[in-house]
Structure 1
Amino acid sequence: MTIDQDRAEAAAPQGGRAEGRVSGGRQAWLVTGFLTLLLVINYADKIVTNIAGPDIIEDLGLSKSQFGVVQSSFFWLYAVGGIVGGWLMARIRPTRLLFAVVVIWAVTLLPLAWPVGFGTLVVCRVLLGLAEGPTTALTMHIAHTWFPPEKRALPSSVLIAGTSVGPVIGAPTLTWIVTAYDWHTAFAVLAAVGFVVAVLWLLVGREGPESPVGIHAASSVELPERAPLRKVFATGTMIGLTTLILCAYAAVAVKVTWLKLYLQDGLGYTSQVAGNLVALPYLGSAVALVGVGFVSAALTRRGVSSRLARGVLGASLVLGSGLAMLAFAPLGTGTPHMALLILSACLNSAGLGIVFAAISDVTPPGQRGMVLAIVSAVFSLGGVVTPLVLGGVVDAAATPAEGYTTSFVIVALTMVAGAVVALLTVDPERDARKLAALRPVPTD
């Protein structure tokens, strides 16, 4: 018996809803809240080398280019993990798969609780990236089983907000741990937290009544249960959204991997002040994500097309983020610089939040997990390239400040280009009709 058959038999006769469970109800938000907590931990794991960066560089005697390799290494197998995770989602219950993934996170963090060399640090970051590759797709997929398509924009935004709340909590906390103890202690704490949340997930982790079987997109067009993936990814909407996410994630990668070093090394803030300032863009992003999620959901309820409520809105936010980055890149320390930096982070994160909901509008329900996993794999390329480029540019520049300015201009122009592509190509209703006209693809 396949996983999809198992879910279908467990569902109630009407609408594919499991008995005793209500879409979008209290239990739905309980599970979504815990999934958000998992992403909080997930992103604390990502930024720990950013927070501990100056100490790691000094302790191991690394150049900026070598540290760029450390930061990039997290993403080397991230795409592989995402695709393998998407394949496994059709064969293992996503809730069980997520438990296994969280345990592996914790295991890969443990060796760094003791003195290590450059090679061990890189290997551990590579393995952590491999394990975290499926995380975004898994959490989105599980959350979407609790909400009907027209209500997914808000929970999608709440989940992505977890990626901002993680650094809000983690940046000052990890800065304090590194300052009071050392960077090895920070990794030990994160490993312990990972094991604890894995056990808690066993207690609360459930899939909801919105089974992939028979559930369709938010448009009036009924999507086929399955379709050739090459046809799905050849639609203008998927081309535009994937391009947008890839370009927007370049800015996320900078924030995750280099922000503290930029503030400390490039602008001259002290380690403690830089660690505290790192939290501000993430805090603003969390608020913006939830706010824009409400706006997108309200537009959908009022009959606004998915193209406008999700595609155009998301691309416009990323476009605004790129323009704000162009504005703050040449500025020195001060309120205008931080205000524009925070604004850029807020707009970019909010755009990403609703874009993930738009993907579901053109995704055959039986292939949602795999499509989300492939998209996650693609955007991870921004995480591979950006830290390496930034490290090389900073090393080659006359001063660190000049190097960071050049790097931010490059990233900003990339975001603007991605947003323009999305504005020209994204139209979920049009592409849903194209997919609906295809011959059904038999299930495995």
Structure 2
Amino acid sequence: MRWFVLLLLFFGTVINFADKSIIGLAAVSIMKDFNLSYTQWGLVGSSYYWLFPVTGIFGAALADRFGAKKILGFLMLTWTVLQFGVLAITALPLLIVYRVLLGVFEAPYTPIAFNHVHKWFPPKQIGFATSIVVAGGGVGAMVVAPLLVALIVAFGWKVAFALLGAASFVWFFLFQFFTKESPVQVYKEKQKKARLEKIKLKDFLVLVASPTALFTTFAFLSTQFLIVWFTIWLPIYLVEVVQLSAIQMGYGVATIGVVSILIYIGVSAFSDHLFKKNQNWRLSRVYVVAGAMGIGALFLASVTVFQNPVWVIIALCLAKGFTYVILPIGPSIMINELPERGGLMASILTSFGNLAGIVGPILTGSIVALAGANKIAGYNLSILFIAGLVLIFSLLFAIFVKPKLAKVSMDEQHVKLEEKESRKKNSVPVL
């Protein structure tokens, strides 16, 4: 059951990021239909994140209280309605309203999914399992890009959006009727007890302001700037600066997505391997993530110097793959700080990180617009800004983040018991 849950969470993330990224893939068509400037397009990209931080925390807190199945099911139904509602968009104001509402209801998905993984998997598999969920983002944002581009070209961008709404409804049906909330049979009793335990605001604020939580959040934030750039600006960058055709752009985006997924899954699995051997969070989690982010920042900065199309694709594969390692492991560090409120802790990380979504698109749009005819200089400045942020906060992350010893939850104990019983059943008795 846990692997099926993980598979559905993976596909849920695919849909989530396809919803985010299709706006970038359809950028040329949408800007042409509505006669939008670069500044206006930056506003469209930013609008998705205007309420994202608030609703991400609120939705994850509701999931801690009422359960992931109910909240995720509700979210998927709203995605369905909103994506079909795109068919009625006729002007820029409606496009912005749609993007704001989509951000409102998509914000809670990632922290809830991260915390749900922690219910089903033991600590020694958390890095790998969470990286599979994160990989869904890479697939949704980049790997399926050629398919989304083909749908946009064949049927128009509005129909392509509506088809993603249909995918959300299929996911809702499978998740609601074929999964369980938790591997622990006493889930209701556990939740009832948890509701009686209130968090003291002062203690909670001290925890959130601790060096471990604070610099994990800032490292996550720096990576979010890169995520937003990849989502909103990468397709246009590959067409206008690297001079790829629309089809080449689609395959380039897909290549970056596939290779980067393999990289951060591999690094996350390596982190799990180290943790299994030494149980040392600093060595297996913090140093691995910080080193990977630093390498990723250097590869990202290199595209401003070497702009050969082949090197740009290779460098962006490596930049995304190494930098994104914070995405599966960062939430694990935050959840470990307060396991009984795992959804809330993960949502603080993702919601604060997604403040980059408010600033990033507008900042990049303004830089490119100010550069005038020299678009390459504008894009290069935006890339160097992001690379600098990632490099600085990876160093601070390595210095100040010191996670406490992991607690073993009831869910994890149950998973271990299931593994032990499974080994007994599969063992051959000696006669």
* TM-score category, normalised to shorter length: 0.7 to 0.9
* Pair 1:356-2:341 in alignment: no
Give the structure 1 partner of residue 93 of structure 2: 119
Asked if residue 412 in structure 1 is aligned to residue 387 in structure 2, the reply is: yes
Determine the C-alpha separation between the residues in 1 that align with 2:273 and 2:323: 20
Structure 1 CA distance, aligned partners of 2:404 and 2:345?
18
Partner-residue secondary structure (3-state), 2:233: helix
Cα shift at 1:431:
11
Aligned with residue 294 of structure 1, among 251, 254, 269: 269
CA positional deviation for 1:430: 7.7
2:422 counterpart residue number: none
Aligned partner of 1:384 in structure 2 is 358
With 142-151 and 371-380 compared, the bigger mean Cα shift is at 142-151
Q: Does 1:192 align with 2:161?
A: no
AA aligned opposite 2:247: Q
How far does residue 110 in structure 1 lie from its aligned partner after superposition? Answer: 1.6
**Partner in structure 1 of residue 193 of structure 2:** none
Partner of 2:244, secondary structure, is: coil
Secondary structure of 2:305's aligned partner = coil
Alignment partners' CA distance in 2, 1:129 and 1:110: 15
**What amino acid is aligned across from residue 323 of structure 2 in structure 1?**
N
Contact 1:237 1:431 in 2 (8 A): no
Cα distance in 1 between the residues matched to 2:240 and 2:80: 30
User: Who is 2:240 aligned against?
Assistant: 265
Q: Which residue type is aligned with residue 239 of structure 2? A: Q
Give the whole-Å Cα distance in 2 for the aligned partners of 1:417 and 1:321: 12
Structure 2 unmatched ranges of 5 or more: 191-196, 408-431
Write the deviation string for residues 188-219 of structure 1: whole angstroms up to 9, x where unpaired. Answer: 111111112111211223223366999xxxxx
Q: Label 1:290 to 1:98 Cα distance change in 2 as closer, same or farther (>3 A).
A: same
User: Per-residue deviation at 1:292?
Assistant: 1.6
Deviations, residues 76-125 of structure 1 (Å, cap 9, x unaligned): 11111111112312332211100001111121122212452101111001
Q: CA deviation at 1:320?
A: 1.2
- 2:398 pairs, out of 405, 412, 423, with 423
The 1-side partners of 2:204 and 2:154 are apart by: 51
Distance, in Å, in 2 between the alignment partners of 1:421 and 1:103 is: 40
* Alignment partners' CA distance in 2, 1:118 and 1:391: 17
1:158 aligned to which of 132, 138, 149: 132
Residues in 2 aligned to 1:212 and 1:286: alpha-carbon distance in whole angstroms: 36
| Count of residue pairs brought into register by the alignment | 397
Which shows bigger deviation, 338-347 or 84-93? 84-93
1:33 aligns with 2:4: no
Distance between the aligned counterparts of 1:43 and 1:283, measured in 2? 14
1:240/1:329 CA distance change after superposition, 3 Å: same
- Distance in 1 of aligned mates of 2:168 and 2:351: 23
- What is the rounded CA distance, in whole Å, between the counterparts of 1:212 and 1:377 in structure 2? 28
Q: Give CA-to-partner distance per residue, 1:137-167, whole Å, 9 cap, x none.
A: 1111111111123431111111111111113
Q: Partner of 2:181: helix, strand, or coil?
A: coil
1:393 is aligned to 367
Amino acid at match of 1:313: V
* Pick aligned residue for 1:68 from 42, 55, 71: 42
Among residues 72, 88, 101, which one is paired with 2:62 in the alignment? 88
Distance 1:415 1:230, change over 3 A: same
Cα distance in 2 for partners of 1:83, 1:38 equals 19
Superposition deviation, residue 225 in structure 1: 10
Residue 250 of structure 1 contacts residue 382 of structure 1 at CA under 8 Å; is this kept in 2?
yes
Question: 1:132-147, aligned counterparts within 5 Å?
Answer: 132-147=106-121
**Residue aligned with 1:90, SS:** helix
Query: What corresponds to 2:82 in structure 1?
Result: 108
Q: Does the 8 Å contact 2:22/2:141 carry over to 1? A: no
Shift of 1:358: 2.1
* Distance of 2:85 and 2:71 partners within structure 1: 23
Q: TM-score, normalised by structure 1?
A: 0.85
* SS, match of residue 325 in structure 2: helix
AA paired with 2:356?
G
Cα distance in 2 for partners of 1:332, 1:164 equals 23
> Does structure 2 retain, via aligned residues, the 8 Å contact 1:226–1:367?
no
Deviation of 1:403 after TM superposition, in Å, equals 1.0
Cα distance in 1 for partners of 2:58, 2:199 equals: 19
- Supply the distance in 1 between the matched residues of 2:143 and 2:370 (Cα, whole angstroms): 34
CA contact (8 A) 1:213 1:365 kept: no
Which residue is 1:201 aligned to? 175
- Give 1:375 deviation, angstroms: 1.3
Mapped to 2, the partners of 1:169 and 1:340 lie a distance apart of 17
| Conserved? CA contact 1:28–1:146, under 8 Å | yes
The 3-state SS of whatever aligns with 1:139 is helix
Whole-Å separation in 2 of the counterparts to 1:122 and 1:329: 32
Deviation of 1:394 (Å): 0.6
Between the aligned partners of 1:315 and 1:325, the Cα distance in structure 2 is: 15
CA drift of 1:349 comes to: 1.6
Q: What is the alpha-carbon distance in structure 2 between the residues aligned to residue 115 and residue 427 of structure 1?
A: 48
Cα distance in structure 2, aligned partners of 1:370 and 1:65:
34
2:321 to 346, 349, 352: 346
Offset from partner CA, 1:280-320 (integer Å, 9 cap, x none): 22111211222122111111110141011111111221111
Matches of 1:213 and 1:158, distance apart in 2: 30
Tell me the SS of whatever aligns to 1:429. Answer: coil
Q: Look up the SS of the partner of 1:302 in the other structure.
A: helix
Aligned to 2:339: 365
State the partner residue of 1:167.
Answer: 141
Name the structure where helix makes up a greater proportion of residues: 2
TM-score (ref. length: structure 2): 0.88
Aligned letter for 2:87?
A
What is the identity, as a one-letter code, of the residue corresponding to 1:429?
A: K
CA RMSD across the alignment = 2.1
**2:368, 2:347 → 1: CA distance?**
32
Choose from 137, 155, 168 the match for 1:181.
Answer: 155
Q: Which residue identity is paired with 2:300? A: M
The yes-or-no answer on 1:280 pairing with 2:249 is: no
